[in-house]
Structure 1
Amino acid sequence: MSSATRSAPAGTGGPSGFAGGVTAFAAVMLLLAGCLSIFRGIMAIAEDDVFVRTPNYIFKFDLTSWGWIHLILGIIAICIGLGLFRVSLWARILGVALAALLIIANFLSLPYYPLWSVVVIAISGFVIWGLCAVHRDDAPIV
């Protein structure tokens, strides 16, 4: 293959500028979603009076349980977000899976803190887009 047909200089092995930028964007957004989930978890564990109670919601859960779920998901999101800065395949796969879990968790807890849930759902959607839309030319496609 001639050097004119390659997208990156020979021997670099790194992501192209756009692919690296989108992955860095997804990493930062996942770190932000993780921080928001940790804060939400701490609020739910420490003080249940901050949240709105919806009496006729199908998915009724104890807010302390939701707090622990969000806290654990947030800690995992930060760990995976840090792994995304290394542009590793395991972090990309786990990042997409965790962002999907964050969307589900925030959808189920939507009536307790609606605006915050919608913000984290949107951020998680951007993370999934960022991790799936662009890839390195030399990396395997999952």
Structure 2
Amino acid sequence: MSTGQYRDPQPDPERPSGTSSSSSSSSTSSSTSSSANRPGRPTGPPRGSGWADGGTMFAGVLMLVNGLLAVFQGIMGIAKDQVFVATPRYVFRFDLTSWGWIHLALGVLIALVGVGVLSGAGWARWTGVALTGLSLIAQFVFVPYYPLWSLVVIAIDVFIIWALVNYREEPGYRR
């Protein structure tokens, strides 16, 4: 089996029953084999692969951490909004106490959905994509108040969205 390919768990109807799609003769298999390029066949990593599962689990942990940090950021904005420096001529200028409540609510929701992602709930992945997208937008609008932190959180949010969207569950598989 060459790098970039995986063994198909379902038998190939075009092959005799005694042969396997992963067995090869003296030539090495290439990614352009006829069974790998048939319509309807996955071209990415296998379903339920360690990479997809690991990325989704890591996204769940990042959602928990990101949510808790957003809660702390919200508390800072509510209790002491003098912690943040505001630029006077920014288009999306809001009261920092309002931003504190927005970050607090969003952080709590993201952390709760992160727990759902870690438990394997299907609804949590798509809810996580939506809430993380809102977090990304909120951090973009919050850039003038806390620039470096906002950019770090935006990068983390992009990874979370990628990991949650890329996850493909094995049919009939339940955690």
Query: Scaled by the length of structure 2, what TM-score is found?
Result: 0.70
Does 2:72 correspond to 1:39? yes
Q: SS of the counterpart of 1:85?
A: helix
Equivalent positions of 1:22-61 (< 5 A) are: 22-61=55-94
Q: Is the 8 A contact 1:29 1:126 kept in 2?
A: no
Aligned to 2:129: 96
CA deviation string 1:84-132 (max 9, x = no partner): 0122210000000011000000111110111111111111111001101
Q: CA RMSD in A?
A: 1.8
- Segments ≥4 residues shifted beyond 2 Å: 4-7, 14-19
Report which stretch shifted further, 60-69 or 114-123. Answer: 114-123
2:139 to 106, 130, 137: 106
| Distance in 1, Cα, partners of 2:158 & 2:112 | 18
Aligned pairs, how many? 130
Q: Greater relative contact order: 1 or 2 (C-alpha under 8 angstroms, separation 6 or more)? A: 1
Percent identity (aligned) = 52
- Whose radius of gyration is greater, 1 or 2? 2
CA distance in 2, matches of 1:39, 1:119: 16
What letter matches 2:120 in structure 1?
V
Any gaps of 5 or more consecutive residues in structure 2? 1-6, 11-46
